[in-house]
A and B are shown apart, each in its own frame.
Chain A
Amino acid sequence: MSPTNQLNYIFYLGSLSLAFMLRILPLPPSVQLIAPDWVLLVLIYWLLSEPHKIGIFHAFLIGLLIDVLTGRILGQHPSGYIFAAYLCLTLHKRLQNIRLIQQCFFIFLILFIAQLIILWTDTFQHPLSYNTAFWLPALSGTLFWPVVKYLLHRCQQGFH
């Protein structure tokens, strides 16, 4: 492994850890309802920028860690993240070549589907008690996507 690759790997783990921490950061309940899934956003960034190195298995492991971190049934987040990863990997060539606005539309769909799967698996544990605001994290995630992409891209370039 060349030095740049190694640095990249450290950066990958660092960005994910930061996203994990943002995920469990205590926030006021009103903000909590619209807080985006930072981990999934960072994961999507890495899936799109390094599709040959980072794949479904990474999505599975990260999802498992999130389950442990947030006390869900093991497998809830992996199922959502694996689906998102599959979509990203099949669409990554197209996503790299379209404009940011169009990209955002795809990101919204991916976030929404992943969230729907996680919400649906919640019903195994207790009756579904979603409210109409349940899709807001997908929307806020879409709005944050250009920021996340820009920041991670700049940092990654800085490492090269």
Chain B
Amino acid sequence: MRGVPRMSGRAMSVMALVGIVGVAAGHRGLSHHARKMSGTEVASINCIPCHVLPRVSGPLASLWNAEYASPLRLAVVPDGTLLVTAEEGGALFVVDPERRAVLDQIAVGGQPHSVITDARGRTAYVTDRWGNRVSVIDLATRTRVSTIPVGAQPGGMSLDASERTLFVANSGTNDISVVDLPSGRAVQRLPAGSHPYSVRGSPIDETIVVLNRLTSPVEHRAPPVTEVTLVDAATRRVVRRVRLDAAHMAEGLAVTPDGATALLTIARPKNLLPATQIARGWMITYGVALLDMTSGRVVQLLLDDVNQSYADPYDVVLSPDGRRAFVSHAGADVVSVIDVPALRALAAAIPDDSLARYANDLSASRQYVVARIPTGPNPMGLAVSADGGTLYVAERVADQIRMIDVATGRDRGVIPLGSPQRESFVRRGERLFNSAGHTAQGQFSCRSCHPEGHTDALNYDLEPDGLGRNIVNNISLRELSTTAPYKWTGKNVSLYRQCGFRFAKWLTRTAPYSQRDLQALVAYIMSLEHMPNPYATADGPLAVAAERGRTIFERAATNDGRTIDERDRCVTCHPPPLFTDGRMADVGTGADTDTQHEFDTPVLTNLAGSGPYLHDGRANSLEELWTRFNPDDRHGVANDLTKAQLNDLVVYLMTLGGARD
């Protein structure tokens, strides 16, 4: 070939050899990098999960990522249409079940949660947890007519009998917004429990039931206590606070048609016991609590069977006659069908001194669970059609609504919400994260302890090292991607290691994830983001105090002018942007029951919503970090601070991360 220099056979051989050596060396180097960074010996980890998958968008990213609707909660309009909040789709879907078609999508913001309608079905209200507001939807025109600012991370809602007042549970600020609908303003905040989540009104009177999801602050190493907050809609007052002892993750709520009983879904964690209980099938149990609306008596009964858990009960609805209750198990891909009269009869027959025994009885469910209906993956929100004949199930990670015949329990098929048929890598990880299928006897999913990738606010006795040793506070998984190492002990250099083989042997007690599943799970966890921090404000008194607090956080001298050693300054170990240096430190907080006293320096962003604090969760407030647990200034020099300075420092910490949109 003229004009083109011909490569000799020897040169080609040399080039080929160089190429082979180069590729081999590159592969070896990359494999070494993957093993080093992942802390595993698995060479098949590719670049994508860590470097490009989780958070990118745009045309190129669409090759591996996809946008999904993620249906969460449902409401049935009197005309038969179904309203669906699309948690990740940022919209309210209007669905025609007859035609199995999506009629419309109404944009409502960043992360829609709940939807309710007025009695005539003219207006819908949708909460947006990302935007801290309620969208008011005109259902005739299918348009958003207004938005109403409420507290942070609003979830469930209920109208009063006059439909002039709306009660909204604000998970992020632990209160209830009282919205005056004629003026379109939130006029009151009523204090709730911890993480108020679901709201239902009594069908017979003005009682509004607010179900809080997480435990209220309790003494260290005490069982969780979750609150049900009862509000009188007429007086706009909290009139009763009911304790759910030893229960939490209370998410689903229904009130019987006679108004006598509220049914609440619960989890009963055994977090005070060593995790060896997992092998015995008793780490977390799941059930319902019956709240007597008159007396306030609570009876907890399990929905699990012996040797088979039904993890993550999320929603509960009743048939119109109140004789059947349906509970979605988001981690077990099942809907439990409950014989309500049998359940109530049993609850009434249990003497008060036997309540604790029945609350732990895995054999009781056969008396009131009459069916288990399989569903698609991750069943969450439920609704019953206006005629009472069809149960709708929001299958969140399948992006579809399943229809089930109430009378027979037979599957009537699904309504697809138009999302991509392809399951992206991250979506696969999200499905795995929400499934209890990878734990012994289906006892728990990742979500069981990390709802929405956050924390359940409990302290666990995880290590199989004896009762009460090495207690660890459960931390949020959000924005973890660059904060290695992991675990309070810093033993895991990567999420691969955290969630890999050891995890299976030690915690899930079943076969470990496959390499592909593990990578997908890690990719999903690395994609998790914090919600907007309700305390991060651009101006106002909080911002002024936070600025003063920042100077304390970064100070190099005490109030009397002594130089603070660099190692003893807050900012040294907690540098921005995530406020961790990723190193281990002994700050004097180790307990006699801790094997080691050096702990991984935690991330400080979105701190206000992730209490309790310290490695073992012994501090219920940020103030206690310094007023009680830093007597020798080992956790930063702070004992010279005035109370006002300490307050400023706390404000600064509360405002870190996730500015409000």
Task: Decide whether A and B assemble into one complex.
Answer: no
Residues of A near any B CB (own CB < 8 A):
none
Residues of B near any A CB (own CB < 8 A):
none
